[in-house]
Amino acid sequence: MIYFDNAATTKPDGDCLKKAEIYLTDKFYNPSALYAEGYNLHLDLRSARENILSHIADKSKYDLIVTSCGSEADNQAVFCAGRRGNIVTTYGEHSAIFNAVNEAKIRGVEVRFAKLNADGSVNTDSLLSLIDDKTSLCSVIHVNNETGAVNDINFIAARVKAINPRTVFHSDGVQAFGKIPFKMSQNIDLYSLSAHKIGGLKGTGALIKRKTLQLKPLIYGGGQEGGLRSGTENVFGIKMLEYASGKVFDKINENFAKINAVKQKLCGLLDKDLFTILSSEDSSPYILTVAAEGVRGETALHAVNDKGLIIGTGSACSSNEAKRHSRVIEACGVDKKLYDSVLRISFCGNNTSEEAIKAAEILNETLGELKEALK
C-alpha cells in the first residue's frame, strides 16, 4: 500500500514512540503535582516547550501553549485575540479558522475576507486593503492545506503591522511546521501547529505566542500552560511532539529537496490528457493537487484505493461539510467543471520516487478506465 495522504495525517514515528513510551509507563504522574515525580515532569515539559520553540522562533521572545490539536490553537487565536473591531483573513483558510471567524461574526465581530490568487495563495493587495485602525486580528495560513500554496507570512505580517501596529497577526502553520524552512519574525504574534502532521500523535497541537502579547484563555480550569490552557497536560503527546519535531527539523532542508523530487517525478508522469495540475510550481513539495475532469474525486479516491494507493480529495477536516465542492478551490477561480474532480496527493519525508512512479501508474490506469466507462 502506498500512502500519499500525509496532509491529513502522518504515521507516528516509531523511534519517537519508543523514546516517549516511558511517559506512558514509568513517568505517568501529574505534572502539576507537588511531589518530586510530578515536579520533575513539570521540568521535562518546560524543556520540551523550549525545544519545540527553538526550531522556528526565538524562545526568549515566545511562549508555547500546548493544545489538543491545531484546530484548538486556531480557535484560541480567533476567539481570544479577535474580540473587537474587525478580523481580516482569507478565503483560503483551513476550516478551523474559516468557521471560527464566521462564528465570531455571529457574536458581533466584523469579518473581512481577502481574495486568493489562482494557486491558492492570498492576494496581498486585497488583504492589505482590508486592514484599518479597527482590525484586531489578521490571520493568514502559511501553507494552504488544499493546494500547497505558500504565503510569505513574514513579509505579509510586516505589511500589516505597518498599517496597524496593534493588529495581532496569526498564521495557521499546520502544513508548514517541520516541512518549510522558516523562522518567525517579531511581526508574527501567534502561530499554530499540529503534532500528527509530522510523525507525532493526534491529540496534540500548540499555539506559539509572543511573550508580550496579552491573551485570554479559551479553556478555563486549573491554570495549566501559564494560565492560558487549562487541563492536565498530555505529557506523552507533548514529548512525542518534541521528539518528532526534532527529527524532522534535523533534516528539513534535505527532506524539502527529496520530497520536491518525489513530487516532480509524480507530476511529470501523470497523463496530462487525464489530469489538470492545480498546484503551482513553487507550492509546498509536500502537497500536489490535481483534477481529473468528468470523474468525481470521491469515485477516483475509492478506485485507486482498491489498487493500493491512498490519496485524498482535499482537507480531511472538511469532509463532513454540506457543500459538495471545496470553497478554497472555488475561490482560486478554478474552472467549475473541475470542482468535483479534485484530488490531493500529499507526502512525508519517508516517501520515495519509486512510490511516485507506482502511484502515477495507478492514477493513469484507473482514471483512464473511469473516463472510458463514462463515455
Is the pLDDT at 317 greater than 80? The verdict is no
SS3 33: coil
Q: Would you give the DSSP letter of residue 340?
A: G
pLDDT at res. 371: 87
Instruction: Tell me if 183 sits within 8 A of 172, measured CB to CB.
Output: no
Q: Tell me what the mean pLDDT of segment 272-298 comes to.
A: 96
Instruction: Tell me if 241 sits within 8 A of 52, measured CB to CB.
Output: yes
pTM, full prediction: 0.95
Q: What is the pLDDT of residues 48-80, one digit of tens each?
A: 999 999 999 999 999 999 999 999 999 999 999
- C-alpha to C-alpha distance for 106 and 99, rounded to whole angstroms: 11
Q: What is the mean pLDDT of the chain?
A: 96
- Tell me which of 85-89, 166-170, 211-215, 320-324 is least confident: 320-324
CA nearest neighbour of 328 among 316, 317, 339 = 339
Whole-number percent of the chain with pLDDT over 70 = 97
- Tell me which of 71-80, 259-268, 321-330 is least confident: 321-330
Q: What is the pLDDT of residues 86-97, one digit of tens each?
A: 999 999 999 999
Q: Tell me what the mean pLDDT of segment 320-346 comes to.
A: 88
Q: What is the pLDDT of residues 149-178, one digit of tens each?
A: 999 999 999 999 999 999 999 999 999 999
Is the pLDDT at 321 greater than 60? The verdict is no
Is the pLDDT at 372 greater than 90? The verdict is no
Residue 101: φ, ψ to 5°? -70, -30
Other residues' Cβ atoms within 10 Å of the Cβ of residue 27 = 18
Instruction: Tell me if 70 sits within 8 A of 192, measured CB to CB.
Output: yes
pLDDT level of residue 325 (50, 70, 90 thresholds): confident
Is the pLDDT at 223 greater than 60? The verdict is yes
* Per-position DSSP letters for 240-251, written without gaps between them: HHHHHHHHHHHT
